Amino acid sequence: MIIRPRWADFKVIGLYTGKVIIGVGILMVIPLTTSLLFGEWNSAIDFLIGIGACLVFGLGLEVLCQTPKNMAWGHGLVVVSFSWLMATVLGAIPHYLSGHFSSYLDAMFDVMSGYTTTGLYLLQDLDHVSHGLNMWRHVLTFAGGQGIIVIALTFLFQGTAGAYKIYVGEGKDERLLPNVIQTARAIWLVSLAYLVVGSFFLWISGMLLGLGPLRSFLHAIWIFMSAWSTGGFAPQSYNSIYYHSLLYEVITVPIFVIGSFNFALHWAVWTGEKREIYRNIEIISFFTTVAIALLLATAGLMKLGVYPDIAILFRKMFYQVVSAHTTTGLGTIYSRTFVRQWGTFSMLGIILAMAIGASACSTGGGFKGLRMGIIFKAVIQDVRRLISPESARIVEKWHHISTRLLDDATVRIAMLIVLSYVGIYALGTVIGVYYGYDLVQAMFDAVSAGSNTGLSCGVVSPTMPTLMKVVYIFEMWAGRLEFMSLFALAGYFVALIRGR
């Protein structure tokens, strides 16, 4: 029997959603300050409206939904999916008011893309937007990478009751420390420490490349936020092409590779477990699948003779493949270059890289290396079982922070999530083909959206059909939250209608 949610359940959901939305409003203080510092008054007003709307909505929910009821697992998951939706609706206010979007849906597309660290955008005339709006785009992606729930847990939650339930809902289930709020703070500590170091190197290199000190500083912060969060946004429409620099590429690649690693792995290394780097199943899986994607892309590019020599080919191909595999989406080639120069075979290599994606409990998307490793081990286990005597007990182990025995439940969950990803990739592809796009191109952008990568071959544009925008928003949202929260939200709707 399905139990219909009671008013008290909605109160719990409303109370915690309110807290998260207040967090989004507080985040807008950063771009507001940027706009004020650069004298961008209209942009500042847009952020004040955004802050006001978030605070009114969030505080309004808190006033209306005070309840002594404790949060259950179902509540936690619904809070996450619902608050991500509301954060997108309200976070899009400054975007829309900037006048750079055709519709509010387009503004929401960009905000969802930011939160989910995708990097696809529908913003028009990016090269003339304010520093404030550029700051907001990148703060969105930085905050989204760590998780907006993690932010709320870090700053707005006083007790730990129920905290773990909404933390898990955001696609993160690793506890770095025994207390989940301490875990959230540890995630921020790791990210902020890297922010300082990474931005400093990018700032210096930017000045060496001919950028002025102030613009170099802003670009450094934005590109770091984008690379670390495996986002893909950039302050100029040329993305990483703008810098024309091997040095910038050499600095950004390690940032997005490290950013794509599991926070638990970071924490283990920070706390002295350096062996974890080469023992971890995700790292082994990552380097293996990167090698396969590199080989595919190389084969495609060599076949077409796109680049004049092997060193140049490797430089271009390596950056795009690693950017795709870490689901970053920064690129040193034009979007249409994938179609017009790289060709279908290389694009398949990139699609494979994007589909597999980064590590679990990281800023990245895709199937995740952990699941690929588990499925690979399960296949090996089954093959061994087939060729062994019936009485033999075949044991397979996998190492992620600790060494564990591979059991059917773990494999089942990994397969379920991977199949769900395949489902959303297929959905986006089918819709794209329905609207007349080429199959491979439709698949490229659909996988990019679903895996939160952000590379595009030109399908995503402000003029694409509205339904495709909606489907891509759904893909980004579902892919980032790894489905469980969405299933819970859908279950809530079903319970509302059919429950007793």
Partner 1 sequence: MILCRVKKEISRVRLWRPAVASLLAITLVFSLILGPAMGQASGQKILLNPDFPIPGRETPNGTEVNSASLVENANAWDGRIITFTGEAIGEAMARGKMAWIHLNDDAYMWKNIEEGAQLGGYNSGHAVWVLTDLAKKIRFFGDFKHEGDVVKIVGTFNAACPQHGGDMDIHASTLEIVRVGHPVHHVINTPRAMIAWVLLILALILYRFRIIIRRRHAF
Span interacting with partner 1, options 107-115, 307-315, 439-447, 476-484, rule CB under 8 A: 307-315
Residues 28 to 47 in contact with partner 1, rule: CB under 8 A: 40-43, 45-46
**3-class secondary structure, 244:** coil
Residue 397 phi, psi (nearest 5): -115, 155
d(CA 10, CA 14): 6
d(CA 116, CA 496): 28
Span interacting with partner 1, options 83-91, 257-265, 296-304, 323-331, rule CB under 8 A: 296-304
Q: How far is the CB of 158 from partner 1 (least distance, A)?
A: 11
Residues 105 to 144 in contact with partner 1, rule: CB under 8 A: 124-131
The answer to whether residue 295 forms part of the interface with partner 1 (CB under 8 A) is yes
d(CA 72, CA 74): 5
Whichever of 313 and 427 has its CB closer to partner 1, that residue is 313
CA dihedral 362, 329, 327, 416 (to 10 degrees): 120
The answer to whether residue 241 forms part of the interface with partner 1 (CB under 8 A) is yes
Cβ pair 456, 115 in contact under 8 A:
no
Residue 299: count of CB within 10 angstroms of its CB = 14
d(CA 439, CA 459): 11
Helices 131-146 and 148-155 sit at what angle, rounded to 10 degrees?
A: 80
The answer to whether residue 104 forms part of the interface with partner 1 (CB under 8 A) is no
d(CA 20, CA 22): 5
Whichever of 29 and 177 has its CB closer to partner 1, that residue is 29
Whichever of 313 and 426 has its CB closer to partner 1, that residue is 313
The answer to whether residue 430 forms part of the interface with partner 1 (CB under 8 A) is no
Q: How far is the CB of 426 from partner 1 (least distance, A)?
A: 27
Q: How far is the CB of 430 from partner 1 (least distance, A)?
A: 25
**Contacting partner 1 (CB under 8 A), which of 10, 26, 62, 217?**
62
**Contacting partner 1 (CB under 8 A), which of 104, 200, 287, 493?**
287
Q: Are strands 397-400 and 402-405 parallel, antiparallel or unpaired?
A: antiparallel
The answer to whether residue 436 forms part of the interface with partner 1 (CB under 8 A) is no
DSSP-derived secondary structure for 199-225: HHHHHHHHHHTT--HHHHHHHHHHHHH
Residues 256 to 285 in contact with partner 1, rule: CB under 8 A: 275, 278-279, 284
Residues 351 to 370 in contact with partner 1, rule: CB under 8 A: none
**Contacting partner 1 (CB under 8 A), which of 48, 89, 156, 415?**
48
Running DSSP on this structure, what letter comes out for residue 5? P
Q: Six-digit token pair at 414?
A: 């990994």
Widest Cα–Cα separation across the chain: 76
Residue 405 phi, psi (nearest 5): -85, 140
Whichever of 384 and 498 has its CB closer to partner 1, that residue is 384
Q: How far is the CB of 382 from partner 1 (least distance, A)?
A: 16
Q: How far is the CB of 327 from partner 1 (least distance, A)?
A: 21
Residue 179: count of CB within 10 angstroms of its CB = 14
Count of residues engaged in binding partner 1, rule: CB under 8 A: 79
Whichever of 381 and 427 has its CB closer to partner 1, that residue is 381
Cβ pair 369, 281 in contact under 8 A:
yes
The answer to whether residue 213 forms part of the interface with partner 1 (CB under 8 A) is no
**Contacting partner 1 (CB under 8 A), which of 3, 7, 68, 196?**
68
Whichever of 185 and 399 has its CB closer to partner 1, that residue is 399
Q: Six-digit token pair at 126?
A: 């990016």
The answer to whether residue 313 forms part of the interface with partner 1 (CB under 8 A) is yes
Running DSSP on this structure, what letter comes out for residue 230? T
Q: How far is the CB of 127 from partner 1 (least distance, A)?
A: 4
Residues 153 to 192 in contact with partner 1, rule: CB under 8 A: none
The answer to whether residue 20 forms part of the interface with partner 1 (CB under 8 A) is no
d(CA 359, CA 354): 12
Smallest CA-to-CA distance from 74 within 420, 491, 361, 413 is with: 491
Residues 445 to 484 in contact with partner 1, rule: CB under 8 A: 461-463
Smallest CA-to-CA distance from 444 within 316, 326, 322, 349 is with: 349
Residues 393 to 422 in contact with partner 1, rule: CB under 8 A: 399
Whichever of 39 and 192 has its CB closer to partner 1, that residue is 39
